Amino acid sequence: MSYKIENIIAESIAVKSKILKDDNLINILKEAVSVIVSAFKNGNKVLFCGNGGSAADAQHLAAEFSGRFYTDRDALPAEALHCNTSYITAVANDYSYDVIYSRIIKGIGKKGDVLVGLSTSGNSKNIINAFEVAKEKGITTIAFTGETGGKMKPIADYLLNVPSIDTPRIQESHILLGHIICQLVEEEYFDVV
């Protein structure tokens, strides 16, 4: 069992090492930070969506903005779109689970907002639909996916595709990338050194 534990840890480190060496991914990460800082400075908000573990990660990252990360500071307008269970279950029941995010983006999304979608496969239909509505409304999209980017790759404004096809390793790296964004946005927006 010890060998298996060590192997899992080594696999996680290997994925993060690939990210560290991926200049393109790091440049896209920097661009995502700039886009989010600009959105906040212009009075816009950041919305997050995901399914299952990725929904939990979306909620986690939204809370880092609306709560705090390292610094005692004002709240930033960020929200995970799945937190209203009455809305989610009503829309999924009355329409389709595929439209739970696109429908709310139609309702609350504004030009200049940012929509962050987390999907390890990059093929989550409800997130793809939300990205399509976001594009129509002038909302910038940032996709957190696995290696291929899936169907989200061609429609995302910014693609953070973790170099792995293993769902747990991808999700671990999504939190790493998300935390980097949260820290750098907080530092830049609040001029913290």
Conformational region of residue 192, where left means phi above 0, alpha means psi within -120 to 50, and beta covers everything else: beta
pLDDT at residue number 192: 87
Query: 């990725």: which residue's tokens?
Result: 54
Does residue 71 register a pLDDT over 80?
Answer: yes
The CB-side HSE value for 45 (13 A sphere, CA atoms) comes to: 16
Q: How many CB atoms lie within 10 A of CB 1?
A: 5
Identify the CA nearest to 58 among candidates 175, 180, 193: 175
pLDDT at residue number 193: 74
CB 156 within 8 A of CB 35: no
Region 47-64 average pLDDT: 98
Q: pLDDT of 114-130, one tens digit each?
A: 999 999 999 999 999 99
Cα angle: 25, vertex 9, 169; to 5 degrees: 40
Q: What residue type is 166 in one-letter code?
A: D
Identify the CA nearest to 87 among candidates 136, 55, 95, 134: 95
Overall residue count recorded for the chain in this entry: 193
Q: Tell me the pTM.
A: 0.97
- By the 10 Å C-beta count (0-12 exposed, 13-18 middle, 19+ buried), 47 is classed as buried
Q: pLDDT of 7-54, one tens digit each?
A: 999 999 999 999 999 999 999 999 999 999 999 999 999 999 999 999
Q: pLDDT of 127-184, one tens digit each?
A: 999 999 999 999 999 999 999 999 999 999 999 999 999 999 999 999 999 999 999 9
Q: pLDDT of 72-115, one tens digit each?
A: 999 999 999 999 999 999 999 999 999 999 999 999 999 999 99
